[in-house]
Structure 1
């Protein structure tokens, strides 16, 4: 499969990156092709709701790095979002990508049937603290007619390396086998 991974953490050595790396390594071992986009290190703004998606030959009329990600998503068989939870929600670093996936709907692009996965972690030990990430991704996948094949939801990690005290990386590796 052709899998696009979009990350939303600004910490290259953080917990969600560790899980992302574990997923990608295992997915490639399984024979999948993986293309990774680290949204926090790209220039991606929010949606302007101008409804001119794909009218300029690019996904978005406001030309930024989303126009690098959009064609990869269109060509992909699967999309995996990875991110930490920021203030009980999706981090700003990846939110522009998620919001601008709306462009596929505006332009009536056929993106149905893709597989989708989610890898996320949060500081709190309460597993419902990830709901602000999990629920929007699940609802977005349903709207796009994407099949969520798995989610890795790891509470109780904050400092870089805390993920090593959990099975988060192992769960991420296992997720790779679901594609």
Structure 2
């Protein structure tokens, strides 16, 4: 049975290498019978999280009305979420990071009465599958440490399961991805859903 897969991209380069891998993933996932919804965060209006702790109190995921409120219902409806982004300054691009920061709205925070901490219930989205597709210019795998740590902690905090990561070095110019196994690895990631 096909899954509902949400893809969130972070690249501002429509003809870039991470977009090429994203397209390969989407095509392979759809060929397997999955339904894919895609949001290209770089072309949307998503502001950073303001830590106001008013998530869902206005009936929307974020009290500040931006495009995250368009993405949020798709996050809830998805069986799986795939993040795709080039590495910018040793982590995710700012465009996708704004979306990821607002995933805070979906964390389940429980009251700790014994310690008198303030907590409140949010809409949890546990049980989803996650994937990561990323590429970077350098040939040093440690360049991916920031992206991998953020991704792994995001999956853990949202009580999900990672099914795989596609991490491709040595790409910068348009079509550099064609000189790597990035496209094939992105297609193979679709098989894991």
Same fold (TM over 0.5): yes
Q: TM-score, normalised by structure 1?
A: 0.98
Partner of 1:64 in structure 2?
A: 66
In 2, are the aligned partners of 1:154 and 1:168 still within 8 Å (CA)?
yes
How many angstroms does 1:109 deviate by?
1.3
Q: Distance in 2 between matches of 1:99 and 1:110?
A: 15
Alignment of 1:19-168 (within 5 A): 19-105=21-107, 107-168=121-182
In 2, are the aligned partners of 1:9 and 1:40 still within 8 Å (CA)?
yes
How many angstroms does 1:122 deviate by?
0.3
How many angstroms does 1:155 deviate by?
0.7
In 1, are the aligned partners of 2:25 and 2:187 still within 8 Å (CA)?
yes
Q: TM-score, normalised by structure 2?
A: 0.91
How many angstroms does 1:39 deviate by?
0.1
RMSD, aligned α-carbons: 0.8
In 2, are the aligned partners of 1:5 and 1:81 still within 8 Å (CA)?
yes
Deviations 1:121-158 (A, max 9, x none): 00001112111111111111011111000000001101
In 2, are the aligned partners of 1:122 and 1:154 still within 8 Å (CA)?
yes
Tell me which stretches of 4 or more aligned residues in structure 1 moved more than 6 Å: none
Number of residue pairs aligned between Structure 1 and Structure 2: 179
Q: Which has the larger radius of gyration?
A: 2
Gaps of 5+ in 1: none
Q: Distance in 2 between matches of 1:56 and 1:110?
A: 17
Tell me the secondary structure at the aligned position of residue 98 of structure 2: helix
